[in-house]
Structure 1
Amino acid sequence: MGDATLASIRIEHHFDAAQEKVWRAWTDPDVVRRWWGSQPDGVVTSAHLEVREGGRFEISFQDPDGDAHTSSGEYLRVEPMVALEFTWGWRSEPGVVSRVTVGFEPREKGTAMRFVHGELRGASKHDYAQGWRRTFAKLDRVLAADAQC
Structure 2
Amino acid sequence: MTRSPETPPDVRHERIVIDRPYDATPAQVFAAWASPEAKRRWFANDEEWENLEYRLDFRVGGQEFDRSRPRNGGTLHQYDGRIEDIVPDARIVIAYTMSLDGQRISSSLLTLEFQPRTNGTRLLFTEQIAILDGADSATSRESGWRSVLDKLEAALRHDRGSTA
- What amino acid is aligned across from residue 35 of structure 1 in structure 2? W
Q: Does 1:108 align with 2:108?
A: no
User: Which among 20, 29, 32 is matched to residue 22 of structure 1?
Assistant: 29
Counting helix residues as a fraction of each chain, which structure ranks higher?
2
Mind listing any 5+ residue stretches in structure 1 that lack a counterpart? Answer: none
1:62 deviates by: 3.5
User: Which among 14, 37, 41 is matched to residue 7 of structure 1?
Assistant: 14
Give the Cα separation in 2 of the matches to 1:3 and 1:12. 29
- Aligned residue for 2:20, secondary structure, equals strand
Alignment of 1:54-65 (within 5 A): 54-65=61-72
Q: Does 1:31 align with 2:42?
A: no
Alignment of 1:45-56 (within 5 A): 45-56=52-63
Residue of structure 1 in register with 2:77 after alignment: 69
Moved more, 54-63 or 30-39: 30-39
Superposition TM-score, scaled by structure 1 size? 0.85
Task: Report Cα offsets for 1:29-75 as digits up to 9, x if no partner.
Answer: 11111111696633544331122222211123332323442211111
Number of aligned residues: 149
User: Which among 95, 115, 132 is matched to residue 145 of structure 2?
Assistant: 132
- For the Cα contact (< 8 Å) 2:86–2:93, is it kept in 1? yes
Distance 1:48 1:4, change over 3 A: closer
- For the Cα contact (< 8 Å) 2:44–2:66, is it kept in 1? no
Mind listing any 5+ residue stretches in structure 2 that lack a counterpart? Answer: 1-7
Give the Cα separation in 1 of the matches to 2:48 and 2:126. 25
Give the Cα separation in 2 of the matches to 1:89 and 1:4. 14
Give the Cα separation in 2 of the matches to 1:40 and 1:138. 11
Give the Cα separation in 1 of the matches to 2:28 and 2:64. 19
Alignment of 1:84-123 (within 5 A): 84-91=92-99, 92-94=102-104, 96-121=106-131, 123=134
User: Which among 78, 81, 85 is matched to residue 89 of structure 2?
Assistant: 81
